[in-house]
Structure 1
Amino acid sequence: MSYRRDDRDVRIATSDAGRPRRRLKTKPLMILLLILFVGNLLWFIAWLIPNNPEGDEEVASVDGQEITRQEWMAAMEEQHGRETLLELVNLKVMETAAKEYGIKVSDKEIDLELAMMRSARDGSEVMLYSSDTEHMREKVKAQLILEKVLTKDIVIEDAAIETFYQENQALYDVPDSYRTRMIVLETTQEAQGVIEELGNGSSFEALARERSVDTATGSLGGDIGYIVPGQSTIDTAISNAVSGVDVEGWSEPLTLADGRAAVITVTEKAEGNTFTYKDVEGHISRELALEQLPQSVTPEAFWQEFDTEWFYGE
């Protein structure tokens, strides 16, 4: 680009004293600044008012009728909002209680409780596969804080703890357990077809939701929780095969007791452990102390103490 010494660029004028003065034309500069300002203003307005507000975003449609994100979120809040918020509030209440009463919970204590839950096989392990690992540990920690607060003033004699350990030592010899998913089919041929799909890269969880004739587990992506080899509460074919399945691998078609077929996969192996008296002394003491309480207590009992309020206003 070239510059010319004329009125469109830089103009030299002479003052009465004969000294030259250089004067810049300001009009083009002001126009440029105005354009930049208007452009930034329009961008800011567009940022504040998006073309497709999140609440109006279409997440599904049926026969041309859309379902918006707002409708979806409202339905989830109505169905699960109270329970989800209750859990969050109680986790925070127990965290506050731990600070108030000087309660400590170690990772080792959490590991013990999780191992005991996996080996219980009485339904208490449901929380083990209803959420991710970190969330699961948070819930166990909150439960331990609650139990420690409730039993902090109850004294259990050492002799009672030792007797309980000797009489129930088998409880603390925890075997390996396997987080398992299954797909149930009507025939072995169908099960073989599923195995071929898995070999071609299909998701086990997605196939369980789509193909499993066991709707209860199929809706969970085939998740049946932690299985111990030889477990009597699960089909023998599955409990006998689970230890031979590699993590993220899958089994050959298994013939179930009712004549149907199944394919299983192992998503996680939890190593077993034999816990010593020292390992479980605190656990036993707390369990015996809880038995002396007249009734079970939930975290809600501490809401008033810690000035707890929530959306549902109860």
Structure 2
Amino acid sequence: MSYSRDNGRPGASPGDTGKPRRRLKTKPLMILLLILFAGNLLWFIAWLIPNNPGGNEEVASVSGKEITRQEWMAAMEEQHGRETLLELVNLQVMETAAKEYDIKVSDKEVDLELAMMRSARDGSEKTLYSADEERMREKVKAQLILEKVLTKDVVIEEAAIETFYQDNQALYDIPDSYRTRMIVLQSTEEAQGVIEELENGSSFEALARERSIDTATGSLGGDIGYVVPGQSTVDAAIANVVASVETDKWSEPLTMADGRVAVITVTDKAQGQTFTYKDVEGHISRELALEQLPQSVTPEAFWQEFDTEWFYGE
């Protein structure tokens, strides 16, 4: 949900079915925030690993020359440390802002945002779910706090909210969606070989990293996010069968439009639901209020107010 905005206004894409509808504006911001998280996740995990007291534990070697944990951690801090710390600081800043401005964010509000993200169906959600579920919920909550603080004094007429809902009601009818991974191969024979390995107990995620010729998804363990049956932004061979694949099982080889062959698995099913006007009234009001803001505002705008200091000292 952290949102990218153009000309001071949130931006997003409509769904891929039915007549064009007005898509809620701020959803793509989450994409930027979560892609950032995916980029520094390795550093974050490594930070949680207990350190050797001396920091000289060997973690790798090349031709007898060792690479120590200290060198490893220093390299990761240099590459990803700033972004990771910025993320953690901003989460804390938003928690402090919520207390200062008496802002409440319910689990139901977070659930709505996540459901809207899953239903985007514009291809951008593929990278969203590489993040840990709980961390993602924290980020969504922090962004909601920011939006509520920014719009707390903006008044939106109820008639405008009702009109938006009536014009865009289909946006709130969320279909079932399926968390999907895929392994892409050159031939059916290779796909059958992968299936045999899966039947013998191999990890789908590990095979995707090792064997998939689609490097973008292979690096994510084959994760392509949540897929809706019939989704036009996913190859038809996958979109047409995803609902029939049993959770934690895998498909037969699927020949895609470009001639490559995929094997998919479904790791989770998100039950579809329909949100009523009462469910989304506050959501719509906030979205319309955000459109009236003259420019984008980030959590850093509150650092001085909450006496924030950090390692990088800027």
For 1:178, the equivalent position in structure 2 comes to: 178
1:156-186 deviation digits (Å, cap 9, x = unpaired): 0000000000000000000011111110000
Q: Which residue of 2 aligns with 1:88?
A: 88
In the other structure, the counterpart of 2:37 is none
Between Structure 1 and Structure 2, how many residues are aligned? 263
Task: For 1:196, give the aligned amino acid.
Answer: E
Which amino acid is 2:133 matched to?
Answer: T
In 2: Cα distance, 1:131 partner to 1:240 partner: 26
1:1-314 map, 5 Å: 53-122=53-122, 125=125, 128-314=128-314
CA distance in 2, matches of 1:134, 1:298: 22
Superimposed CA distance per residue, residues 225-271 of structure 1 (whole angstroms, 9 cap, x where no aligned partner):
11111111111111111111111111110001110100011111111
Alpha-carbon contact 1:178-1:226 (below 8 Å) kept: yes
Structure 1 SS opposite 2:241: helix
CA contact (8 A) 1:127 1:136 kept: no
Distance 1:237 1:229 in 2: 10
TM-superposed deviation, 1:124? 5.4
Runs of 4 or more above 3 Å deviation? 122-128
Determine helix, strand or coil for the equivalent of 1:120.
coil
Distance 1:110 1:127, change over 3 A: farther
Post-superposition shift, 1:66? 1.4
Identical positions, percent: 86
Q: Distance in 1 between matches of 2:287 and 2:189?
A: 49
Aligned mates of 2:201, 2:225 — CA distance in 1: 23
How far did 1:126 drift? 5.3
Cα distance in structure 2, aligned partners of 1:168 and 1:177: 20
Instruction: Give the SS at the match of 2:103.
Output: coil
**2:312 aligned partner, one-letter code:** Y
Give me the TM-score of the superposition, normalised by structure 1. Answer: 0.82
Structure 1 residue 64 displacement after superposition: 1.7
CA shift in 2, pair 1:147/1:126, >3 Å: farther
Letter of the 1:91 partner, please give it: L
Q: CA RMSD in A?
A: 1.2
Q: Secondary structure at the match of 2:268?
A: strand
Contact 1:91–1:139 (CA under 8 A) maintained in structure 2: yes
Offset at 1:55? 1.1
C-alpha distance after superposition, 1:165-210 (max 9, x if no partner): 0000000000011111110000010000000000000000100010
The one-letter code sitting in structure 2 at the alignment partner of 1:122 is D
Cα offsets for 1:243-302 (capped at 9, x unmatched): 111111111100011101000111111111000000000000000000000111111111
CA distance in 2 between partners of 1:54 and 1:173 (Å): 56
Query: How far has the Cα of 1:125 moved from its partner?
Result: 3.2
Label 1:127 to 1:86 Cα distance change in 2 as closer, same or farther (>3 A). farther
**Alignment partner of 1:55: what SS?**
coil
- Cα distance between partner residues in 2 of 1:69 and 1:272: 46
Q: The residue matched to 2:259 in structure 1 has which SS?
A: coil
Please report how far the alpha carbon of residue 53 of structure 1 lies from its aligned counterpart in structure 2 after TM superposition.
4.2
Distance in 2, Cα, partners of 1:161 & 1:249: 43
Query: Larger Cα Rg: Structure 1 or Structure 2?
Result: 1
